[in-house]
Amino acid sequence: MASNPHFESYKKDVIKMNNAKRRTVIAGNWKMNFTPAEAVAFINEIKPMVEGKNNCDIIFCAPYVDIAPAMEAAKGSNIKIGAENVHFEEKGAYTGEVSAKMLTSMGVEYVIIGHSERRQYFAETDETVNKRTKAALAAGMKVILCLGEVKDERLNGITNEVVSMQTKLDLKDVTAEELKNVIIAYEPVWAIGTGLTATPEQADETCGVIRDTVASLYGRDAAEAMTIQYGGSMNDANAKELLDKVNVDGGLIGGASLVAAKFTAIVDAAQ
């Protein structure tokens, strides 16, 4: 279908207005991949490639053991290093867990919470996701809260209900002030690591449903100010059309965040 030039120009204006209201955030989720030495080599490689590209925030969320060396390598650059999870208790007998205070004491600002792999393989529920979110926010961290429907839910036409419910449960008792430190990453589970991507229209629509749910809880202004990312097989080839959508304010990137050229191309698509 030929695009209408008036509509295209209107769309650009809306995107411009929204960008003024909310920050575009391109974040990598390294998952369980790089050793500390590999993380450092990656940061050293990508640092000059993204230098001066300041129209979006650039974050890599790393396994705990990679955080300190990656932060050291990223010093003085426009790259921030975050964590992939955090526990909700302040301290105590929780073998294998890491607290928000441990992260903030190292200067870590961002943390992913509620990733579908945590929900699927490590028994995370909306209740524990909510507890982790509240603990991280209380410690002054910025949270990248992940949610999204599984394939059966999309096929059965209940995606909107699912993401709306997750949004409400995961943000339960989060204050309006704390909400300013929340980014939501909409990640359809069927699109993660599968090479299947939501169409730009699906991503836009579902991010819009999440935004409307946030508006119902905190008001329209708060919802319009919130960064909502898309995640799920975002790559150098499809990033531009996803990021062009009005309700998509960034990306949470898995596989392509391990390849400097691919991740840089996504950052470029967001400029």
Q: Which amino acids are annotated catalytic?
A: 115, 187
Member of 69, 148, 250, 255 binding ligand 13P (CB under 6 A): 255
Task: Compare residues 171 and 253 and give the one whose CB is closer to ligand 13P.
Answer: 253
Q: Encoding tokens for residue 32?
A: 């369980």
Sort 186 into a burial class: Cβ within 10 Å, 0-12 / 13-18 / 19+. buried
Member of 231, 242, 263, 267 binding ligand 13P (CB under 6 A): 231
Q: Which are the contacts of 72, defined by CB distance < 8 A and separation ≥ 6? A: 40
Sort 62 into a burial class: Cβ within 10 Å, 0-12 / 13-18 / 19+. buried
Least distance from C-beta 193 to ligand 13P, angstroms? 4
Task: Compare residues 137 and 253 and give the one whose CB is closer to ligand 13P.
Answer: 253
- Give the length of the chain: 271
Query: Side chain identity at 209, as an amino acid letter?
Result: V
Nearest residue to ligand 13P, scored by beta-carbon proximity: 254
The Cα 28–Cα 255 span in angstroms is: 9
**Does residue 237 interact with ligand 13P by CB under 6 A?**
no
Task: Compare residues 69 and 148 and give the one whose CB is closer to ligand 13P.
Answer: 148
**Does residue 193 interact with ligand 13P by CB under 6 A?**
yes
Decide the pairing of beta strands 56-62 and 79-83.
parallel
Member of 103, 179, 234, 266 binding ligand 13P (CB under 6 A): 234
Q: Among candidates 172, 185, 91, 93, which has minimal Cα distance to 125? A: 172
Q: What is the largest CA-CA distance in the chain?
A: 62
Member of 111, 243, 252, 266 binding ligand 13P (CB under 6 A): 252
Least distance from C-beta 24 to ligand 13P, angstroms? 16
The residues binding ligand 13P (CB under 6 A) are 29, 115, 187, 192-193, 231-234, 252-256
